[in-house]
Structure 1
Amino acid sequence: MRTIRWTAAAALAFVLSACTGGGSGGSGGDFLVLRTTPPNNGRLYLNEPIRIDFSTAVDLTSADLNTVSFQVFDQNGDALTERPAGTFSLSATAGDASVGRQLVFTPLFPTNNTYDNGGFRPGRTYVVQLVGGDRRNNTVLRDTNGRALAQAVSFTFQTADGTTPSQLFSDTRAGGPRMTSIQISPRDANGVALNKVGREPVEIRLNFDQPLNPADDNVPVGVSADPLVRVSADRGRISLEYTDPAAPTPPTWFPATVELERNTREGSTVVLRPIGVLPNNALVSVIVESSVEDMAGESNVQNAAYDQIVATFSTRQDFEPQYDSIVEEFGASSAMDLEAAFLEPTATLASGKLTASFAFDGG
């Protein structure tokens, strides 16, 4: 491991010694690396990007995981076959008025409870190699004038290690996450649709001002679709409640699947999709509890002014008789599973009375 780090440091020092300072670049001269963030042997949180400043504007189409390659090592210095995942983009280097001379690699954020399936992983050493020189197969970084990177560059960095969000991720914004906007569809002047089978499904999108901790005890992505095992105690920190205007009672939880659709340094989007038909003529509250954490583990628990009801909406007043069903015909019953769970609660029809076949949340 010492040899790898020495080689990376020596290569970077050699190339950077031939480069100019951090002033604005022109169209003339060689295409060179000026600086990297993190610097050689630096440290990076799992949600932080790599930034590389060049002497001239970068051709973004030439940047991929072949021209900017990664070698990955564990804490024992053993090579791993992991391949970082993320996106390349361009930004403005310090002092520039226009975008172009800074190449940015932003890693994908993890989505699991152990935070180890993202673009960068905890406790790793990464050796980044920027391909340069005269490459006839076009596997080389180029500037917008078509010039290849004059000298290959390598640098090394380590990722944060730990098991908690505060250890692994940088805080992109002070304070706990705040919802900035909400979109609900389908919706018209009469209210939100009732989520009938075969119609456009109802979706509630919540946009937040910063990334969220993806663990399922924070964003409840594991709500069961099976009503036999689903209980309101498992609703999680983001949920839906409804009240009946004609019979005001304590709010009732309405189950919904939850997806963390977008999670970036700029913000995040959570999508709630109600399970089953929404109640008719009901006032639905969108709940985001104060304990919901951002990517670095910060919440709004200490904010006394925080209101967990972040939005409300009304469902349509469809009082006329109606029903919702799906009818399918099969040639044989051999492939049918009569014990399979339905997304909606089952019912019992006996003695002219329709009742639920088991006790379930919502009465």
Structure 2
Amino acid sequence: MDNDQKLSMLLEAVGDSVAADFAQSVLVMHNWDLEAAMNEILSGGGPPDSSSMHDDDVRAPMATGYTDTLMAPMNPAEELRRKKEREAARAVEAEAARLAAEKAHVQDLERQVEQQRREAERAALERRQQKRKAEEAERRRLAELQQAEQPQPEKQQPAPAPPADSEQRAAEAEAEASARRDEQSRSQAAQAAAAAAARAAAAAAVAQPADVSQQAPAAAPVPTAAPPDERPEQAVDAVVQALVALRKRYREADPAALATCLRTLSAYLGNLAHNPQETKFQHINCENAAFRSRVAVLEGATAVLEACGFRLEGAAYVVDPEFMRRRGTRLFDVVSKLEVMIDQLKSAGF
């Protein structure tokens, strides 16, 4: 409450019997204490005696141009309404401040989450890079070990060493069984050919009876044995050794590339075994993209082709006709071995 309101309330309380200047002087005397001034006037105190006042205590009034405006006493209902409005305004301000604080907190949390996400992605990327580097280092180490384990070329080929593990023993046993089956099939084929020739000679004798006395009896063809330099065990062993070396070199280092190489070799040799007279299956172009990316890229893969009668001539591998004439049927056994190795890799997920 300001001084003008205090003066107005004092004048309303004491009535018209007191002048405004006197009431103001009383308020000034009591340091604008409304209750003390009202007690002073109502207790019978009049305006101060000018004779008892010194010139130093009172000064002459000044023209200020100020006009007092009397205010009616405030209605309690209006005062209550204004109080509620002020409280509502403070509540709105408090709610706005709370919402602003919550918004700032949510934004801070979002920034923290985004920072944590970026850090997690960066850490995951670093882990992947480290894992890739470790895999590359392990692959190089295995390649170096396998290269160190490879026998050095010598002038004279030493006698084949006995199998060092069960896998090689099984491969050699299978090769021996395959060689025995080949020998039996060749013997049966020779016997069948001899029987056919005998039947053909008998038929010719029946057809020309007049010439029988003049012609010497035709001798039945005798099955020719294989040349002494043709040893089935050596041929099969060369294929088995090439396949075992290829598997040992890439089974752990790059099994996916090994599986692709074996499938390609199986396609080459299978086509040649089923169509030995087809010229297109007797040549393999070394400049072909599939051959270079699937076979030539693996060390030792071409050794399988060479063990199966292929020889490098210029920019192509060409099958030896003599090999096909003498040992062409063994390509089926080689294809069977390739299929076994492919199934093993396929069961491992490659």
TM-score category of the 2 structures, normalised to the smaller one: under 0.3
Q: Which has the higher helix share?
A: 2
Higher relative contact order (CA 8 A, sep 6+): 1
Query: TM-score with structure 2 length normalisation?
Result: 0.20
Radius of gyration: which is bigger? 2
Q: Which has the higher strand share?
A: 1
Query: TM-score with structure 1 length normalisation?
Result: 0.19
